[in-house]
Structure 1
């Protein structure tokens, strides 16, 4: 089996090395880490192939690279809206989201960005620092020179205003869950 995986890797994966490196350079902000990312993708591909050779090496390579970048972004916990929007432009084969879901998610993200711009300035700044930059409540309060309860109040207000704005635009993601939670509380009383 090892010889088959080695042969597959040399014949199918290594010729894609330049393509993979260009992809990683386009989609990862730190150019110094690209070679390490490439090696990690190669390692994951080799490990996956030891369980069975893939039918579409290129698709597996792009999917692996995409998932690696997403994992790294999650670990950093700082995600710009531009980075998230850029995921949609990645031209890779995937079994995850169909064209409708992709277009729908892109539209919702654009509506969210527009709704975010309509928030009062202080609320928008606090929501951006907490939810997009990933700062803690204490870090946000310290950076803006306000109390932690003020940060909490602005985040709560901002999220509510964003949900209302998106609801008026027809986006009901989470609205059903929120309504059922409210009904449950009213029955408890």
Structure 2
């Protein structure tokens, strides 16, 4: 990985027109190697943290004990000597946090003042799916589902700014809609990242 951190906000889309042919080739190698470990990442030599708004790291991965980049793709690469160990940590709430409606951003018991997505259907926020359950129903009653990972990520993107959450809500939706195309990771990789690394806080 590059020794230089990109700390400025960046859009998640990729300007493929400006990328050299060899850079595109490295990108394809990287994307095809997601989940295969840091060896592929090192070979690809692509700054994965540029797909998020900030250069941050996850808490130590409970599965491997490694500290990893707080991006969908970058989480496959351990933070080593080239990346400062004091890089800010990104965290988000566990989905159980949102079983209380009062924890939802914009929630108000008065429906006339409620601006939250408690009663919005999943496919209203994430189009292209047949899942028409309300977001609250998903979080409350189907916490192990892939839809719950996306709803939780969408909420965390709004409530966990102070916890250095690496994506904003628009980027979460874009990752869902563009998954597996235009240089974006698959939905499965996104869901694994959100569930394994970003639902680390319970209060």
Task: Identify whether the pair has TM-score above 0.5, normalized to the shorter chain.
Answer: no
Choose between structure 1 and 2: higher helix proportion: 1
Structure number with the bigger relative contact order (C-alpha 8 A, sep ≥ 6) is: 2
Normalising by structure 1, report the TM-score.
0.22
